[in-house]
C-alpha cells in the first residue's frame, strides 16, 4: 500500500491540494457534489469512465470531451478540467505521456481548477519508477486499448521506444509543482485500482 501520508505531504509542499478516499464510489460522490452546476472539460481518461463520473456529471453540469461528441477546444476552454496521471511518485511528481497533447496541455495552462484523480495502482515509490511505470505499463496498455500498430500493443510487455507512425507517446510532461498557469490543482487519491 502506498505511503499516503508521505505522498500527501510531498504533494502539498509542491502546491497541490490533496483529498483521499478509500473507494472510487466515495471519490465519485465527492466530485459529483463539488462540480454541481459547473462547466467541466476532460480529455478522455479510463479512470473517469470507470468511476462513471462523466455520465453522472452530465445530468447537472456542462461536460465537454471529444469522447462524448465535443471538441478538444471545448474541453480546453472549460474552467475546470478532469484528468488522471500515468504515474504519481510518492515523492510528489506527476507524470503524463500524451499523443495528441490536449491532455497534458490542460494540466499546464489555462484552467481555473484541475483535478487529478489517481488510483492506487498509479503510485510509484519515486520519480524514476513513476517514469518507468508511465512508459512501460500505462502507455503499452493504452496502445493496446486503442488497437495501435505498435510493438508494445502487439507484445504487451514493455515500451520499445518505437518509431511506428502510430506511436502514441509523443510528449512527456512531469509536474514538479503546480504550474503557475492553472489556478488551483487538486490530487484526488483513491485507494483502489483505476485505469492504467
Q: Which is nearer to ligand SF4, 67 or 160 (CB)?
A: 160
Q: Which is nearer to ligand SF4, 119 or 151 (CB)?
A: 151
Q: Which residues contact 128 (CB under 8 A, 6 or more apart)?
A: none
How do 123-124 and 87-89 pair as beta strands? Answer: parallel
| Min CB(45)–ligand SF4 separation in Å | 17
Q: Which is nearer to ligand SF4, 12 or 161 (CB)?
A: 161
Residue 189, H or E segment: strand 184-190
| CA-derived radius of gyration, the chain | 16
| Min CB(164)–ligand SF4 separation in Å | 6
Q: Give the per-residue SS3 of 114-181.
A: EEEEEEHHHEECCHHHHHHHHHHHHHHHHHHHCCCCCHHHHHCCCCCCCCCCCCCCCEEEEECCCCCE
| Min CB(166)–ligand SF4 separation in Å | 7
| Min CB(176)–ligand SF4 separation in Å | 23
| Min CB(159)–ligand SF4 separation in Å | 3
Q: Which cell is 119 given?
A: 488510483
Q: Which is nearer to ligand SF4, 60 or 155 (CB)?
A: 155
Q: Which is nearer to ligand SF4, 112 or 157 (CB)?
A: 157
Residues 8, 108, 147, 129: what is their CA dihedral angle, to the nearest 10 degrees?
Answer: -40
| Min CB(136)–ligand SF4 separation in Å | 7
CB atoms within 10 A of CB 102: 19
Beta bridge partners of 97: 172
Helix/strand/coil for 111: coil
Interface ranges with ligand SF4 (CB under 6 A): 139-140, 143, 150-152, 159-162, 164, 167-169
Q: Which is nearer to ligand SF4, 25 or 146 (CB)?
A: 146
Amino acid at each position: 500500500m502506498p505511503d499516503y501520508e508521505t505522498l500527501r505531504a510531498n504533494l502539498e509542499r509542491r502546491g497541490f491540494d490533496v483529498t483521499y478516499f478509500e473507494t472510487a464510489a466515495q471519490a465519485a460522490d465527492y466530485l459529483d457534489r463539488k462540480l454541481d452546476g459547473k462547466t467541466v472539460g476532460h480529455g478522455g481518461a479510463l479512470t473517469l469512465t470507470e468511476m462513471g463520473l462523466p455520465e453522472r456529471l452530465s445530468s447537472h453540469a456542462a461536460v465537454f470531451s471529444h469522447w462524448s461528441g465535443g471538441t478538444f477546444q471545448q474541453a480546453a476552454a472549460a474552467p475546470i478540467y478532469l484528468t488522471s496521471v500515468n504515474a504519481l511518485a510518492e515523492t510528489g511528481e506527476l507524470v503524463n505521456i500524451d499523443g495528441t497533447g490536449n491532455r497534458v496541455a490542460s494540466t499546464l495552462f489555462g484552467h481555473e481548477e484541475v483535478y487529478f484523480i489517481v488510483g492506487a495502482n498509479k503510485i510509484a515509490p519515486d520519480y524514476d519508477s513513476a517514469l518507468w511505470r508511465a512508459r512501460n505499463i500505462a502507455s503499452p496498455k493504452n496502445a493496446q486499448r486503442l488497437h495501435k500498430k505498435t510493438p508494445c500493443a502487439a507484445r504487451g510487455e514493455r515500451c520499445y521506444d518505437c518509431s511506428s507512425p502510430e506511436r502514441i507517446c509523443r510528449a512527456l510532461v512531469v509536474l514538479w509543482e503546480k504550474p503557475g498557469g492553472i489556478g488551483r490543482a487538486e490530487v484526488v487519491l483513491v485507494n483502489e485500482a483505476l485505469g492504467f
